[in-house]
Amino acid sequence: MGAFFTGALVLAGSALMLIAAIGVVRMPDLFTRMQATTKAATLGAGLVMLGTAVHFATFGVTTRAVAAIAFVLLTAPIAAHLLGRAAYFLGVPLWDGSVRDELRDRYDWETHILASEVRPESPLPADHPPAQTPPP
């Protein structure tokens, strides 16, 4: 029974990683590729590590597997967010079929300030230029 459960976990994790790899090839732009890869690969790696913990069923291996799962779950979304933010601010183009660009009018390309980052105690001066479109 344990071998069946281990195999099912590893197979499901491998399938999710395959979906992530297909997402990298099929998605149209960097941002959708990162979304597909982060979600599917994080869950896939977690399931493979969980299958490893079930297979060996020792305290040392289980502890390491749980630590690895926690590390991946905590770091992968943060890394994807930072890479996506950096790519957007560097001017990586969105896919033509993108429905919405939430940051378009909220980012000032000269001062590199997001409108949401301005705190009430330090408002922008009245002569502050409006947000501009990214450079070509």
What value does the CA radius of gyration of the chain take, rounded to a whole number of Å?
21
User: Which amino acid does the sequence have at 55?
Assistant: H
| pTM for this prediction | 0.73
Please tell me the distance from the alpha carbon of residue 11 to that of residue 58, in angstroms, as a whole number.
21
- Segment (H or E) for 55: helix 30-56
Please tell me the distance from the alpha carbon of residue 75 to that of residue 58, in angstroms, as a whole number.
26
pLDDT at position 113 is: 78
What is the mean pLDDT for each group of 10 consecutive residues in the chain (136 residues)? 92 95 92 89 94 95 96 93 88 85 79 68 52 52
pLDDT at position 60 is: 96
Crossing angle for the helix pair 2-26 and 30-56, to the nearest 10 degrees: 170
pLDDT at position 20 is: 93
pLDDT at position 135 is: 53
Let me know: does 39 contact 62? Beta carbons within 8 Å.
no
